[in-house]
Structure 1
């Protein structure tokens, strides 16, 4: 219970920082909008034309893999670029200064080379995990893909702030990220999971909508589900901004031992449970 309480308090204090710089919400919004444009103009035409059908199966064509990798490359670049801008602004705020939207854009644009190198690696790993999962019919393959993906996320937890602060890219950024994570925090993430609290209202509303449809009020249930999906999108934007701030806080503590004045030090120290700890 103490872990959940600590996670909830950290969530509230991270949210408090976001309220000071609401323009940070623009970065996940733009990331999502640009990604949707890519899907609409690139993926959907290929999907309906049949080019991408059966990817991950023995009948897939080499062209399908090439196009899928191209999509991964573009979509990952979009996400990483705007995440870099977001974390840059968060670091400025945590340093006691007042960031602007363009501060983030300039910071990300000045590190395009590092972002591209990290994007290439991330897209390659993403494609490999997709191929391991296959068409999703094999439960063991899907589980293996999920576990490997989770391990990869932990190992690369600090890559974005490493790009911003240490000006490293590619494998050097991954190595630096893994050392920071392993030596400072251990293996069990608590704080990052707490940010998922933003999705609870949407999930509850979705369940209400499904229940309404089951008991016979189909139209009302459909409306509730539509509102729940809209709330989910809003929650995803909020989560993206909070995650960027959270990663910046963790990076500062991992590298300097310092905690921003707006954050309770005990919450940051307890955000990750060291390996072997039973707390």
Structure 2
């Protein structure tokens, strides 16, 4: 596992160097940002217009609230992981001596869309579980969950499906 994390970290550093050298690849974080805003609007606007927020999350957590929360977090994780995968794919082409385009990165990410989706759902589920444990814990529990959450975020950031 540590070898995989080390390799992922090295890949992330190499991707960052390539990103700085190849400004065209900056489009992937921009895609991620705008896609995340679209996901946010897709979920929040209907909830605000229908006063659904209060019924979902107002008096404790309902089953529907859990489902909506999981769908929201999964969609956010998906667009982030998808854009990161496209960036890493394009960076790998650059590191192998090629001249990647945005389309190349997107094609690579689309080839792995099933894995990206599965990974996003797993990451979102873990995130929601940790959040719920933290909300129900005392101060010490919140610290422990915070440490576990930090470790999980580092691991999920460095692992590319």
Verify: 1:142 aligned to 2:146, yes or no: no
Report the structure number with the largest CA radius of gyration.
Answer: 1
Give TM-score scaled by structure 2 length: 0.77
Residues 98 and 51 of structure 1: CA distance in aligned 2, closer, same or farther (over 3 Å) = farther
Residues of 1 paired with 2:115 and 2:96: CA distance? 23
Residues 22 and 108 of structure 1: CA distance in aligned 2, closer, same or farther (over 3 Å) = same
Once superposed, what is the RMSD of the aligned Cα atoms? Answer: 2.5
Residues 44 and 52 of structure 1: CA distance in aligned 2, closer, same or farther (over 3 Å) = farther
Classify the secondary structure of the residue corresponding to 1:51.
Answer: helix
Give deviations 1:95-146, integer Å, cap 9, x for gaps.
Answer: 22211100100000011111122112111111111112228x9533432222
CA contact (8 A) 1:73 1:119 kept: yes
Stretches of structure 1 lacking an aligned partner (at least 5 in a row) = 1-12, 164-279
Equivalent runs, 1:98-247 vs 2, <5 Å: 98-134=99-135, 138-160=138-160, 163=161
Question: Structure 1 residue 16: deviation in Å?
Answer: 5.4
Higher relative CO (CA 8 A, sep ≥ 6), structure 1 or 2?
A: 2
Residues of 2 paired with 1:20 and 1:125: CA distance? 35
Stretches of structure 2 lacking an aligned partner (at least 5 in a row) = 1-13
Residues 112 and 150 of structure 1: CA distance in aligned 2, closer, same or farther (over 3 Å) = same
Give TM-score scaled by structure 1 length: 0.47
CA contact (8 A) 1:31 1:82 kept: yes
Looking at secondary structure, tell me which structure has more helix per residue.
2
1:86 maps to 87
Residues 88 and 16 of structure 1: CA distance in aligned 2, closer, same or farther (over 3 Å) = closer
Give deviations 1:12-70, integer Å, cap 9, x for gaps.
Answer: x976533431122111111111111111221354265313434xxx8221111111011
Verify: 1:64 aligned to 2:65, yes or no: yes
